[in-house]
Structure 1
Amino acid sequence: MERLTTIFQHLNAAEQSVGLREVASLPSYQRKADDIVVVSALRTPITKAKRGYFKDTYVDDMLAAVFQGVLSDTGLSASDIADVCVGNVGDPKIALTARVAQFFSGMPETVPVYHTNRQCASGLQAFMNVAGSLKTGQCDIGIAAGVESLSKNPMGASGFELNPRLKDYPKAQDSLLPMGITSENVASRFGISRRAQDEFALASQQKAAKAAASGLFDAEIVPVTTTVADAGGQLKTVTVSKDEGIRPTTMEGLAKLRAVFKEGGSTTAGNSSQLSDGAAAVVVTTRGEAAKRGLPVLGVLRSFAVIGCPPDIMGIGPAVAIPEALKKAGESF
């Protein structure tokens, strides 16, 4: 399993034409016209799969919402976009889905759209694909996006025939392990206790709840109007603008949850990520193009790295990719 890590170095608010919080600036000699920059970054709310507000929402509708959002946010015309790449893992018809979303969002047929799949890093890979097209001069402005609906496309739902040669290759067999089992493998192999996982989960929930209550997520969320069925089967139209995954919890509450993937294990519903539905998109261009169009620079791509790791402990991917990405950026821990 491979992982891709991007490093953004944020710029000072003085460089930006919108009222964003102040962040560390780059020395002027490091600001180059061909720097790859992000000028808009928006997402839908993240909702619970199978029982959340997007359980009946089509993937192309979520994707169209973020396409429209970043176009409106930048003031760009749909025809200004020279390429679109969509990262996705679960949708078996994503090539069609992405194209349909393009038309739903008002982009003309002349804008090319394609998809990529690097498992959990598919959205990041979409970003790197667009960045590569910018670096080689294939386009001036592109959109990179990611979308998943675990309501419409559950993990492991698509059946396929396995090559019988798998039995002769242990690493190939490991590639079929469920993520929950790989999580248990990481915990066991690296001595990560149940308590340590629960403490991290509690801190994560507390930070998310505080940020949401302070409105820190509001500017990055595109409200989505969708239709859902209530408990009685009646359809109603709702506008979703908040994440559904944040919930109050305590260490005592987390400690009561049982392991879900392995008897005597440590991975529970409380210290795992929820199954979710949602989409996100960024507009990517060069610093020179952003300056010409008066667009704010939200972040600069400084490096990226893709490193393989053993499939039975696929969760350590960031731990092997981040040091390499930092090295390429001239940074270190």
Structure 2
Amino acid sequence: MATQGHPRDVVVLSGKRTGFGTFGGTLKDFTATELGVFSSKAAIEAAGLTPEQIDHTFFGNALQTSSDSIYLARHVALRSGVPQERPALTVNRLCGSGFEAIVQGAKEILLGEADVCLTGGTESMSQAPHVVRGARWGRNLRLGPAGGQFEDLLWESLLDTNCDLTMAQTAEELADRYGVTREEADEVAVNSQQRAKAAWDAGYFDAEIAEVVVKSRKGETTFATDEHMRPETTMEALGSLRPYFRKDGLVTAGNASGIGDGAASAVVASAEWAEANGVQPLARIVSWGFVGVEPQVMGIGPAPAARLALERAGLTIDDMDLVEVN
């Protein structure tokens, strides 16, 4: 079947990403916009295109941490050389914002309103600011009830006030509901770290990395790795860590999702355009699915979403050779 059941096919021409910096690490001084430019320039070049061939730019960004974040997609496009006449849109579907950007590009192509789209996602969690609520209107800067409300935007953004749970606490809720044990959670974490290191050592990631030039008083260096990896992690080490949110819980500093900085970009196009212009696609977009789930167990979302995407494609999980869940 063609993409999402439409008569047209949408294909991926290229994909590039920066290495991912750890929280407060090498990339901490780059805005999300700047990181998006690095990956976007590399993706356009990898596709064998020029910026002038981009019809529309879609970029995902969940946590807006820099002063130019409201212009993010537009600035990524312009600084990547895309003509100013070509529009851009920033999208936010939280953890799925980068995927949402790809889907928006695909929809634009399926509607016949674009042939080629630059898509991607970018985050600089290290630049999440502290804010003082009410300071604009004369509240003083003293801490406590007498002063303005001093707020860590990163922490507050990871708290879903609709269910009054942090993202990590929703993992605890999931564990209760589905019977996940601490040992199983630690095992997944160890395997993930070891597989990441093995993939790097085998060179699997080399072709997808967009180098980031880091300037300092000592000169320029090139950043092209994932510095958040902890391949030395062992089950014994993880087992010694105390649960962070519950006395008998399973989420620890060692098995929780990491906080970091980085960006990824992909160029998508109609299959007809790619063929007419002699561009060899990397892949074809078959289908997608978005669903809503209980906020208390938000992490289960990929399961029903995958079922919907498979249903739309007329496929089953047994037809899949590889399953990746982010």
Superposition TM-score, scaled by structure 2 size: 0.82
CA distance in 1, matches of 2:91, 2:272: 27
In the alignment, structure 1 residue 217 sits paired with structure 2 residue 205: yes
Aligned to 1:183: 171
Shift of 1:236: 4.9
Say yes or no: does 1:36 pair with 2:24.
no
Which of 100, 111, 122 does residue 147 from structure 1 map onto? 122
Q: Distance in 2 between matches of 1:211 and 1:42?
A: 16
User: Closer, same or farther in 2 for the Cα pair 1:39/1:114, shift >3 Å?
Assistant: same
Q: Secondary structure at the match of 1:121?
A: helix
Output the CA distance in 1 between the equivalents of 2:102 and 2:132: 26
Tell me the residue number matched to 2:142: none
* Aligned CA distance change for structure 1 residues 159 and 119 (closer, same or farther; 3 Å): farther
Quick one: structure 1 residues 150 and 158, their matched pair in 2 at CA, closer, same or farther if it must change by over 3 Å? farther
Partner secondary structure for residue 282 of structure 1: strand
Contact 2:15–2:264 (8 Å) recurs in 1? yes
Q: Provide the aligned length of Structure 1 versus Structure 2.
A: 288
**Structure 1 residues 254, 71: CA separation in 2 closer, same or farther (over 3 Å shift)?**
same
Shift of 1:159: 6.2
The share of aligned pairs that are identical, in percent, is: 34
1:128-153 CA-to-partner distances (Å, cap 9, x unmatched) read 11100000000000011100010112
Shift of 1:259: 1.4
> 1: CA distance between counterparts of 2:41 and 2:57?
13
Looking at structure 2, the residues matched to 71 and 218 of structure 1 have their Cα atoms a distance apart, in angstroms, of 17
Offset of residue 127 of structure 1: 0.6
Structure-2 change in CA distance of 1:96 and 1:251 (3 Å)? same
Question: Which residue does 2:34 correspond to in 1?
Answer: 61
In the aligned structure 2, how far is the partner of 1:121 from the partner of 1:159? 29
Q: Aligned letter for 2:256?
A: S
Following superposition, the deviation at residue 175 of structure 1 comes to: 4.0
Is 2:76 aligned against 1:101? Answer: yes
TM-score, normalised by the number of residues in structure 1:
0.81
- Conserved? CA contact 2:36–2:264, under 8 Å: yes
- State the one-letter code of the partner of 1:299: A
Kindly indicate whether residue 207 of structure 2 is the aligned counterpart of residue 244 of structure 1.
no
Q: Deviations over 1:184-213 (max 9, x none)?
A: 111112110000001111111111110001
Residue by residue, what CA displacement relative to the aligned partner does 1:204-230 show, whole Å, maximum 9, x if unpaired? Answer: 1111110001111010000100235xx
Correspondence 1:119 to 2:94: yes
Q: Which runs of 5+ in 1 are unaligned?
A: 1-7, 9-29, 162-171, 229-233
| 2:181 matches 1:207 | no
